[in-house]
Structures are given as structure tokens and as C-alpha cells.
């Protein structure tokens, strides 16, 4: 069997970087489409180009939307650094993004690799929503969609308590995707909390002597310190968890299928993912919600991406 083909929508971002390293270690990455989210687009594009250059890959990078679909939103620079990569002052890549818009690239690649692509969405869903609005037949050509987003019982990570960052940053985009994509896998923030990586384990991996480990050690330093000082017991790497599920679906040890909708208007709850746990509305389940994964296998995927496994 050939390697898995991935199309990754991402807003690098520290945990995005780890997921991208995993993807390049274990699959064929057809392209990175870049979103605004953790930080603004100029940084997320620059970070993607730098990471790809660092690992010596030739993956094309497509810049997407510079803003959410409707309303402006606060970024996550306080977690990832002002540049999204821990403010290390790295020398920018000499490479350029492709001239095609990310949404158009997603559609073109979905035709070129019809039925083969696993789409991994690790950012606000702006680019994917736009692609869907341009062509509603897109889901027919994507083998699987894995979304990192949401907080299925309301334990989110934004200033609106029940909202998780990727959904809370662009709720309208999430609504477009959740209300039209027939069935996707959802790796939410609460699963991320259950599947953190011990700081000491990560530090051991980061001592490996290779470009991936050196680069990730540098860009993640700030986020690791910030997470520790907040009293978190482990490092959360949301996008890496979603990537593990994309790479190895059988890593999931417990999941539930339910209908999930996105709250757009609540004062306290805009961006919340509302799960119909008891199927009260009789809607077909659109989400395969990941509840637990095999932690040993997850950590093995991360370690090998850092050249430490």
C-alpha cells in the first residue's frame, strides 16, 4: 500500500509545527494551505515556509484568507509568541508561497487526487469554508476530513469559556463546514487535555541531535514555559493529536458519533460546539468525536517525527 496523501490546512503555530513534522515523517504531504489564526497570515505563511525549508522538504505552501469570514478575532500570540514560532528571531526562509489562493488550491488538488486525500484541518476553518462555498461537491473527492477543533462538553480554551480557539476564531467558517460536510472526525480540545505529553518526556525527545528536534526545541521553548507556569501538568499539542488520528485512524480507542453544530450568536457562547449527545433533534451524526487514543502509539509518532524514536 502506498503512503497516505495529506492536504493540511494550518496556522503555524507551535503545535502545528509538530504536526507538520509528523506528517512529513509518516506520509506524503501534497500541500500546506495556510490560515490566519494563531497569528496573522504573514507570520503563519513565513513559519510554514521556514519549517519546510528546515526539514529539506519541497511541499508547496498556499496562502489563504487574511481574516475570518465575518468578524475580526483575537489571535493566540500569547501562547505561540508574537511571530507564532516562539519569537526566536530565526532567519526567514528564502522560499516563497505559491501564487494560487489556498481555497483554489484545495479545490484543484481535490480533483488531481480525487478520492485519495486525507484533509487535516488544524486551524480556523476559513479556507475550507471558502473552498466549500466555491464548490459544494468538494467532500465527494476527499477521502477523510480530520478537524482539530471544538470543546465537546464546553471546556474550551478561549476567553469565551465553551469555545475552543479554532472554532471560536471563525465560528461562521466552522458553521459552513459543520453544516455541510457529511461526516468528519473531530479531535477536540478536551481530548487534547486528556492526551498531553509529560514535559520531561518532551524534553528528552528534544535533546535528539537533528534539525527537526533543534528547530522544534527552539520554537516551542516559550510555549512550554508558559504552559508550565499556568500549572498545567503536561504539554498540550492539539494539532499533533489530530495528526496522529489522521495518520493512524486505528489509534483511536474510543469515539462517539453525534451531530455537532456551532453556536454563532451567544454572548457567552459564540464559537461553542454544541453536541446533540442524545440525538434529540434527529439529525444524522456529522462528527466522529475522538474521546480516547492509544497514548503510547501517539507518543511514538511524535517521538519519531522528532528523530527521537
Enumerate residues 6+ apart whose C-beta is below 8 A from 27: 3, 4, 5, 6, 118, 247
DSSP for 103-156? HHHHHHHHHHTTTTEEEEE-S-THHHHHHHHH-TTHHHHEEEEEEE---TTS--
Contact between 68 and Ca ion by CB under 5 A: the answer reads no
In the list ligand BDR, Ca ion, none, the entry touching 189 (Cβ below 5 to 8 angstroms by class) is ligand BDR
157 binds, among Ca ion, ligand BDR, none (CB under 5 to 8 A by kind): ligand BDR
Nearer to ligand BDR, 71 or 284 (CB): 71
Residue number, 14 or 141, with CB nearest to Ca ion? 14
Contact flag: residue 149 with Ca ion (CB under 5 A): no
Name which of 141 and 190 has its Cβ closer to Ca ion.
Answer: 190
Determine, following the binding rule CB under 5 A, whether residue 22 of this chain makes contact with Ca ion.
no
Q: Which residue is nearest to ligand BDR (CB)?
A: 165
Which residues have C-beta within 8 Å of that of residue 225, sequence separation ≥ 6? none
Residue 165 binds what, of Ca ion, ligand BDR, none (CB under 5 to 8 Å, by partner type)? ligand BDR
Residue 179 Cα distances to 111, 188, 253, 285, angstroms? 22, 17, 26, 11
DSSP 250: G
- Closest CA relative to residue 121, chosen from 45, 69, 174: 174
Give me the count of residues in the chain: 309
Handedness of CA 131, 122, 78, 194 (dihedral sign): positive
Asked if residue 170 binds Ca ion (CB under 5 A), the reply is no
Which set of grid coordinates corresponds to residue 232? 498545567
* CA–CA dist 99, 104 (Å, integer): 11
Q: Is 16 in the site for Ca ion (CB under 5 A)?
A: yes
Question: Applying CB under 5 A, does 122 fall inside the site for Ca ion?
Answer: yes
Give whichever of 23 and 148 is closer to ligand BDR, judged by the CB atom.
148
Interatomic CA distance for residues 123 and 103, integer angstroms: 14
Q: Which is nearer to Ca ion, 8 or 142 (CB)?
A: 8
Q: Please pick, from the candidates 9, 13, 171, 235, the single residue that binds Ca ion as defined by CB under 5 A.
A: 13
CB of 148 closer than 8 Å to CB of 169:
no
List of residues contacting ligand BDR (CB under 6 A): 13, 15-16, 38, 76, 79, 122, 148, 157, 164-166, 189, 238-239
Binding letters toward Ca ion, positions 199-238, x by CB under 5 A? ----------------------------------------
Nearer to ligand BDR, 141 or 150 (CB): 150
Which among Ca ion, ligand BDR, none contacts residue 54 (Cβ within 5 to 8 A by kind)? none
Contacts of residue 292, defined as CB under 8 A and 6 or more positions apart, other chains included, come to: 191, 194, 195, 252, 253, 254
Residue 76 contact, options ligand BDR, Ca ion, none, Cβ 5-8 Å cut-off depending on partner type: ligand BDR
Cis peptide before 168 (omega within 30 of 0): no
Nearer to ligand BDR, 189 or 216 (CB): 189
- Which residue number, 16 or 299, has a Cβ lying nearer to ligand BDR? 16
**Residues at the interface with Ca ion (CB under 5 A):** 11, 13, 16, 122-123, 239
Amino acid at each position: 500500500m502506498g503512503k497516505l496523501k495529506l492536504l493540511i490546512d494550518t496556522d503555524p503555530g507551535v503545535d502545528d509545527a509538530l504536526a507538520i513534522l509528523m506528517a512529513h515523517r509518516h506520509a506524503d504531504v501534497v500541500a500546506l494551505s495556510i490560515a490566519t489564526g494563531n497569528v496573522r497570515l504573514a507570520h503563519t505563511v513565513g513559519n510554514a515556509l521556514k519549517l519546510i525549508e528546515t526539514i529539506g522538504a519541497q511541499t508547496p505552501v498556499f496562502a489563504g484568507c487574511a481574516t475570518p469570514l465575518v468578524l475580526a478575532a483575537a489571535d493566540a500570540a500569547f501562547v505561540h509568541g508574537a511571530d507564532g514560532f516562539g519569537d526566536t528571531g530565526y532567519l526567514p526562509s528564502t522560499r516563497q508561497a505559491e501564487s494560487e489562493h489556498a481555497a483554489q488550491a484545495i479545490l484543484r488538488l481535490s480533483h488531481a487526487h480525487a478520492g485519495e486525500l486525507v484533509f487535516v484541518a488544524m486551524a480556523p476553518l476559513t479556507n475550507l469554508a471558502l473552498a466549500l462555498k466555491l464548490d459544494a461537491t468538494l467532500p465527494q473527492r476527499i477521502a477523510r476530513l480530520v478537524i482539530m477543533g471544538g470543546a465537546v462538553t464546553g471546556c474550551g480554551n478561549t476567553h469565551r469559556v465553551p469555545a475552543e480557539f479554532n472554532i471560536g476564531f471563525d465560528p461562521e467558517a466552522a458553521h459552513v463546514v459543520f453544516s455541510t460536510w457529511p461526516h468528519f472526525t473531530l479531535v477536540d480540545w478536551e481530548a487534547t487535555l486528556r492526551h498531553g505529553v509529560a514535559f520531561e518526556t518532551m524534553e528528552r525527545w528534544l535533546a535528539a541531535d537533528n534539525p527537526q528536534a533543534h528547530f522544534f526545541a527552539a520554537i516551542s521553548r516559550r510555549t512550554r514555559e508558559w504552559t508550565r507556569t499556568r500549572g498545567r501538568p503536561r504539554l498540550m499539542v492539539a494539532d499533533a493529536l489530530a495528526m496522529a488520528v489522521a495518520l493512524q485512524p486505528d489509534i483511536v480507542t474510543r469515539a462517539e458519533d453525534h451531530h455537532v453544530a456551532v453556536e454563532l450568536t451567544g454572548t457567552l457562547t459564540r464559537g461553542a460546539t454544541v453536541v446533540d449527545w442524545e440525538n434529540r433533534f434527529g439529525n444524522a451524526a456529522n462528527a466522529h468525536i475522538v474521546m480516547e487514543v492509544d497514548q503510547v502509539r501517539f507518543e511514538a509518532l511524535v517521538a519519531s517525527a522528532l528523530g527521537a524514536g
